Structure 1
Amino acid sequence: GGENIRWRTELPGRAWSSPVIDGDSIWLTTAIEQGSAEEGPPPPGGRKPQPRSVAEAVTFRAIGIDRRTGNVLHDVELFTVERPQPTHVLNSFASPSPVLAEGKLFCQFGDYGTACLDTSTAAVVWHNRSQRLNHENGPGGSPITWKNLLIFHCDGSDVQYVVALDAATGKQAWRTDRSGEMRDNPELKKAYGTPLVTTINGRDVLLSPAADWLYGYDPATGKELWKLSYGVLGFSIVPRPVVADGIAYIGTSFMKAELLAVRLGPTAALQPEILWRYGRSVPNMPSPLLVGDAVYLFSDKGIATCLDAATGEVRWTGRLGGSFSSSPLLADGKIYVGSRDGEMFVIRPGEDLDIVATNNFGEAIMASPAAVGRAVYVRTERALYRIEQ
């Protein structure tokens, strides 16, 4: 049995960013491509490139939708980039998800630029393109807000750093270069991670996964507090960190993904330690999900795994089928996870794999869903849906 579709709103452009909820509105970003095509012959230098999409120009937009009716309230042009760097064909030009704070929508598109929108007036407050880097495959990681700062990763093949902008003006507040030794191949230096602020013994710490290293920074200043090697090759990091009971769960992504359970120090400045690691069918792209005392993993190839969060012991594994890029969401006591094949699985957490419903949208799901109460909002490659039991 499927969930009931309350409404469907067609979306312009092509974008994998997730929707964010602001009261009775939902905001999402999109990218309108002009003159797009698949890339021609590989660049000189012998590296075998990934299949990539090129465009003559891309216009970045923010769309505000009434979450009760699905009506489009705002469609705002943020900025246009001429000859943007190409993206991987599996990626989009607008994959990083926006973030809301205090009536402002912050839209960060990696090298293409950053914009701030006032959600009440739909006016663009500021935009800049001051952070430049080579993503190789287009941008991926999302920004976060902390106090008066917008913080995001710039982990390219050419430069690797984390940066904070003043949320009011868009001006750079601090920037910290990655200090960990990396591999020589530029491909292995890049990452698409999203940071997370957690509290360790009363002090806020920015957890920041990059290629080969997890960093801890002071979010106010960007000062590095510590760094922890994954102990394995880990690059093109995608999953965001999740934290519970003083343990951070970190995915190392490529080549062979591992999930690391990292015990954070008793104080912010103390080096954490790896408690356990798990390496079977760990997702390269979807983030882990914590529910109670369990970690749920949904691999890119459609394998679901439930681990004991404290020990890493396997409680169960099962096959969903299909392939996955987006992350799972816990809503109304159930797990929602969508596949690139257009299926949304609804799973009851527990002692075995219990699929309570599936919805087939017939359109790829690359974005993670959002929820309010019993309503779940699903972005597919073509539209935004509201589903409800």
Structure 2
Amino acid sequence: MASNVKNLMLTRCCTLAALFALVLGPSSSSQALADENWTRFRGPNGSGVAAESFSAEWAEDDFLWRVALPGKGHGSPVGWGELVFVTWGDAATGGLTLAAIDAATGETKWTKSFEGSPHSIHAANSYASGTPTVDAERVYVTWTANDILHAAAVDHRGEIVWQRELGPAEYKHGAGNSPILVDDLLVVANDHMGESFVVGLDAKSGDERWRRPRQGGTESYATPLLFDSVDGQEQIVVCSSAEGIAGLSPADGAVLWQSRNIYLARCVNSPFIAAGMVFSGSGEGGNGKNLTAVRPASDKGGEPTIAFELKKSLAQVPTPVAVGDRLFVWSDRGVVTCYNAADGEEIWTKRIGGNYYGSPVVAGDKLYCVAADGEVVCIAAADKYELLGRSQLGQGSNATPAIHQGKMFLRTESSLACLPSLETSPAN
């Protein structure tokens, strides 16, 4: 019996590994999702996919731990090794605090605070809505103060390595920038009402390597993405309603290709890869306006190709997620739609209910998304709709779950909870 179970688990793991290879597509093929640290918004290259399996529903006693957070925030946790990093904002001062938490116990190892300034933000925003990024040596955060975008690097012991002012940040609804790392390059996109830009910083020193000016006028919140071109070279994909979608060279920020005028509204959710293409969208008023599948051009030039465009049952804020050739769109108003990622054909759609700001993630063969009222909905990541479970966090949440080394981290407005995977649960 034990041998049969072991063989079944091995077959399941191999099948999932094949699916995850399809999810990553042509980008960062060396990443092994099961062993990957959760280093940025939505994990490895923003895919939102992890190999571990978790319960479909749970109670408070099922958490390994749950700790209170002193301030409000909507940014997701990130993890490296034994540490999980999370931020919160100070409503009185507009400041940002970064904390390192022991992933196994929930113990706070250290905190580091950065000065901010009170400013107008949307009721659904916070002073800590951006997600940090992390590598083996440092964790990187961004925040705004006095209409200036700031960035800082903090080592894993809690010491500030460097801190920089990056430039103006005029956000009517408040900022929410989430940086990414490209090897030793920290990339920050700052598309706002004023003089916008994408900047590449030396991750070790904070020195500016390059800056790409961008047209402003409309706030965009899309987190950049890495894509390997047909030439095998990495490109940084950035999106904004003013500039459209573009691929930048990590070496100098040069525009390798660009497709303008493809968005019908603001870019709030982030680009992702499915079926060998880059998907990105726009929306307003809690509704997605369009989701476009683009085949990027090569590093040698040429024009990107728009494969198809979706305009029905879309999301403004939550970023969709793909597994293999299936694309799952979880709308702000609780409608989930499964598409064929290769051609945009609708497979099924279902109204689940609730309002959502956090993005869905896939763990094993399950799809999870956290509603604004703190309900976690779990459905099958499959060709047929199946509701698997509903669980309550008991507090409001606008954050996306993080999955790091056998644990799911669920952030509410005032707490961080840790759920063990089925493989690592103390009950097993």
TM class, shorter-chain normalised?
0.7 to 0.9
Equivalent residue in structure 1 for 2:133, among 79, 96, 99: 99
Aligned equivalent of 1:370: 402
SS of the residue aligned with 1:296? strand
Aligned equivalent of 2:106: 70
8 A Cα contact 2:179 2:224, kept in partner: yes
Q: CA deviation at 1:93?
A: 0.9
Aligned equivalent of 1:247: 277
Aligned equivalent of 1:145: 181
**Structure 1, unaligned runs of 5 or more:** 35-56
Aligned equivalent of 1:227: 258
Q: Between Structure 1 and Structure 2, which shows a larger proportion of helix residues?
A: 2
Q: CA deviation at 1:190?
A: 2.1
For residues 151 and 365 of structure 2, what CA distance do their matches in structure 1 show?
35
**Bigger shift: residues 263-272 or 302-311:** 263-272
Q: Percent of aligned pairs with the same residue?
A: 29
Aligned equivalent of 1:192: 221
8 A Cα contact 2:80 2:136, kept in partner: no
For residues 287 and 353 of structure 1, what CA distance do their matches in structure 2 show?
19
CA shift in 2, pair 1:267/1:132, >3 Å? closer
Q: How does 1:72-221 map to 2 (within 5 A)?
A: 72-77=108-113, 79-81=114-116, 83-110=117-144, 111-119=148-156, 121-178=157-214, 186=217, 189-200=218-229, 201-212=231-242, 213-221=244-252
Q: CA deviation at 1:91?
A: 0.4
Equivalent residue in structure 2 for 1:327, among 359, 366, 371: 359
TM-score, normalization: structure 1? 0.87
CA shift in 2, pair 1:368/1:268, >3 Å? farther
- Aligned pairs, how many? 356
Aligned equivalent of 1:24: 82
**Bigger shift: residues 247-256 or 375-384:** 247-256
Q: CA deviation at 1:232?
A: 4.3
8 A Cα contact 2:268 2:283, kept in partner: yes
8 A Cα contact 2:269 2:281, kept in partner: yes
Aligned equivalent of 1:50: none
Q: CA deviation at 1:171?
A: 2.3
SS of the residue aligned with 1:252? strand
Q: Between Structure 1 and Structure 2, which shows a larger proportion of strand residues?
A: 1
Q: CA deviation at 1:373?
A: 4.9
TM-score, normalization: structure 2? 0.79
SS of the residue aligned with 1:169? coil
8 A Cα contact 2:274 2:324, kept in partner: no
For residues 24 and 376 of structure 1, what CA distance do their matches in structure 2 show?
14
8 A Cα contact 1:303 1:321, kept in partner: yes
Q: CA deviation at 1:301?
A: 0.5
RMSD across aligned positions (CA): 1.8
Q: Which has the higher contact order (CA 8 A, sep 6+)?
A: 2
1:383 partnered with 2:415: yes
Q: CA deviation at 1:350?
A: 0.8
**Structure 2, unaligned runs of 5 or more:** 1-55, 423-428
